[in-house]
Amino acid sequence: MKILICGDVVGKAGRRVVCDALPTLRRELDLDFIVVNGENAAGGFGITPKICDQFFDVGADVITTGNHAWDQKDIIPHFDREKRLLRPHNYPEGTPGTGAAIFPDHQGRKVLVLHFMGRLFMPSLDDPFAGVEMALLNRHLGSDIAAIILDFHGEATSEKLAIAHMLDGRISAVVGTHTHVPTADAQVLPGGTGYISDIGMCGDYNSVIGMKKEASIERFRKKLPGPRLEAAEGEATLCAGFIE
Ligand code: FE2
């Protein structure tokens, strides 16, 4: 099975590169399943129902999110309506949506997509290590489930590596998102699980993690409420993890 998972899509530039490239990538890489992390797709902050539809129209099978899941108010009820839209699973009980669900790939095989958020330098959510174990109860890779992938949305590489090693051999791949900076540590762990700390973003890299440089620099230099951050709109690069 061939799976592509696109890193955080940032703003219009990121949407454009994903919408332009996905149909071709699907064909050329013979993809069976596509995940898009869309949490920064709406101007850098969240995602809207309309943007979700655009990603599904060009071939996304599942959209994951992260700490910006709730930035656009009209998306909140959409998490209960649109089952292909996931939020981190370790939000409190009662939060709309889910972060663990099974989807069919293009040949009808079952893919379990897990989506959790780290807690180091991130909002304090429920324990993702215990949460992922709960989500994997009675789920066995290679029995009725053909692939299990985890989009682990977090800041710290240590936390991402720790959860990946904990799951090594039990799931197909752990793919890090959130930092918008691709890491050079793609590897297959000893037990067979694919891993990368961060797949980077789909967005304009002539920027500060996808946002216009000037406002970002101002905010770091002055400890006052800075100018509004806006998504950079130059030519975007698509960064993604390809798992076979
Ligand atoms: Fe994030």
Q: How confident is the model over 131-189, as pLDDT tens digits? A: 999 999 999 999 889 999 999 999 999 999 999 999 999 999 999 999 999 999 999 99
pLDDT digits (tens, 9 = 90+) for 75-106: 999 999 999 999 999 999 999 999 999 999 99
- DSSP single-letter state for residue 208: B
Q: Give me the mean pLDDT over the 53-76 stretch.
A: 98
Buried b (16+ CB within 10 A) or exposed e, 31-53: bbbbbbbbbbbbbbbbbbeebbe
pTM of the full predicted structure? 0.97
Q: In the block, which residue shows the tokens 């890299």?
A: 205
Say how many Å lie between the CA of residue 142 and the centre of ligand 1. 31
Which are the catalytic amino acids?
68
What value does the mean pLDDT of the chain take?
A: 97
Query: Which one is predicted more confidently, 219 or 226?
Result: 219
CA distance linking residue 31 with residue 25, whole number of Å: 8
- End-to-end CA distance of the chain: give it in Å, rounded: 6
CA of 81 to the centre of ligand 1 (A): 22
Span from the CA of 128 to the centroid of ligand 1 (angstroms): 15
